[in-house]
Structure 1
Amino acid sequence: MTEFLDFLNNLTNPDWIVAHGGLYLLLFIVFAETGILVGFFLPGDPILFIAGIIIANLTLEPVDSVLTLLYWIALISAAGILGNFVGYWCGKYFGHRLLKMKDNWLFKKEYIYKAQEFYERRGGMAIILARFLPVVRTFAPIVAGIVEMDFRKFAFYNVVGGILWVGSLATLGYMLGENEWVQHNLEYVILAIVVAATAPVIIRVITGKRKTVAAVAEPEMLEEE
């Protein structure tokens, strides 16, 4: 258990990552977090930010440095996109088994039907937004497969979301990677990035619920009048 915790802690250390696989380790982590159910605990956002920091601190000419950044973004995006496809097909393959299960305190078929309705209304945007939410990005493609979201629609938003997620955070890390204050306060910077990435989505969910409640309440008030 101690070794596992040390592993997770070292994933925020650029030097440790470079010494233990570098790009290959990053590709595995991003794929595992987005494609394997047990990978939900992996720190995807910090990993992408650190990827940018690693490139920024390589001894390369400016042009080569930018090309390396684009190369890493392309490969890591591909890993995240492939991971989501694996999650989707796993959800689609095992989904019928879940629907045959009896309702219990942990699982209710109602959840699946609600998720299906949600994906039908705004499924594409949900796939993109899920990329920026820890844990959620692991389960979103699986649920999309379970509710049999249109594959072409899923594929399009999966690719768009993967590129936006990887490109934005890796580029941010690259731009700030040579800043001494960032290097000495990396944990706080990573925490700020996670909060900044999740806050807009959480706010949107909360405001969306309020609008829904208001829309339901308004007809009732009119009937009373």
Structure 2
Amino acid sequence: MALLQQNWLYGITLVATVIFLETGLVILPFLPGDSLLFAVGAFLGISGIFPVPALAILIAAAFFGDLINFKIGSSRVGSTIIKKQWIRPAHLSKARGFFERFGGVVIIMARFIPVVRSVAPFLAGMAGMNPARFLSYNIIGGMLWCILLVMAGYGLGQFVWVQANLTLLAGLIIAISLLPLGVQAYRKRR
């Protein structure tokens, strides 16, 4: 946060890089996108900085990250994974059917679920989701994700309690965003 206070544009660029890497590389799902977006919003609110320029940068990073991840999934990398049968043909067939039926909703909702956020565009590319359809849902999902989390942080950043407990709130956001994965893992074990 000190970096953001000294030069907010440099700090936003650094956060945008993390967002791009988390969404753009299927191997980096552990990066803290949700909490970073909320923290940036809180910082902007605390500092009284108009959020629209930061949002534009963050939305672009989220959009291009997913686009790169989709392209990797639909490239030789995805083809190699399919040819070597690292993913069973039956699972790939199910994924294709799933993305044909629910692809748009998955791309939008995946933004709000850690790990899934990094995997969904890659699988959509591997499964052969229509690129134009992917692009439209990618921009909608990226905008919703960034705007909702940044503006939640921005609005809550006005409160003294939030200013004093920003680290705690970022941890809670991570915990809440991991909750659906925990529920799914619990159900699968049962």
Q: Structure 1, residues 116-156: CA drift from partner, whole Å, max 9, x if none?
A: 11111111000001000111111111100001101111111
Post-superposition offset of 1:18: 4.4
Distance in 2 (alpha carbons) for counterparts of 1:198 and 1:121: 25
Q: How does 1:21-40 map to 2 (within 5 A)?
A: 21-40=10-29
Pick which of 178-187 and 124-133 moved more: 178-187
- The answer for the alignment partner of 2:88 in structure 1 is 108
- The answer for the alignment partner of 2:112 in structure 1 is 132
- 2:157 aligns with one of 177, 194, 198: 177
Identity %: 34
- The reply to whether residue 146 of structure 1 matches residue 126 of structure 2 is yes
Structure 2 residue identity aligned to 1:50: A
Distance in 1 (alpha carbons) for counterparts of 2:130 and 2:88: 23
CA contact (8 A) 1:53 1:174 kept: yes
- Structure 1 ranges of 4+ moved more than 3 A: 16-21, 194-203
- 2:72 aligns with one of 87, 90, 99: 90
- The answer for the alignment partner of 1:78 in structure 2 is 60
Do the aligned partners of residues 72 and 111 (structure 1) sit closer, same or farther apart at CA in structure 2, a change above 3 Å counting? same
Structure 2 residue identity aligned to 1:42: L
Distance in 1 (alpha carbons) for counterparts of 2:179 and 2:28: 22
CA contact (8 A) 2:111 2:141 kept: yes
What TM-score comes out, normalization by structure 1 length? 0.73
Structure 1 residue identity aligned to 2:38: F
Distance in 2 (alpha carbons) for counterparts of 1:50 and 1:130: 20
Q: Structure 1, residues 65-120: CA drift from partner, whole Å, max 9, x if none?
A: 4xx301111110011001100001000002221121145xxx42332222111111
Highest relative contact order (Cα 8 Å, sep 6+), 1 or 2? Answer: 2
Please give the root-mean-square deviation of Cα atoms over the aligned residues, in Å: 2.4
Instruction: Give the number of aligned pairs.
Output: 183
CA contact (8 A) 2:113 2:180 kept: no
Distance in 1 (alpha carbons) for counterparts of 2:124 and 2:5: 35
- 2:136 aligns with one of 141, 156, 176: 156
Distance in 2 (alpha carbons) for counterparts of 1:182 and 1:202: 27
Post-superposition offset of 1:202: 8.0
What TM-score comes out, normalization by structure 2 length? 0.85
Unaligned runs of 5+ in 1: 1-13, 210-225
Post-superposition offset of 1:46: 0.6
- The reply to whether residue 51 of structure 1 matches residue 40 of structure 2 is yes
Distance in 1 (alpha carbons) for counterparts of 2:154 and 2:12: 15
Post-superposition offset of 1:25: 0.3
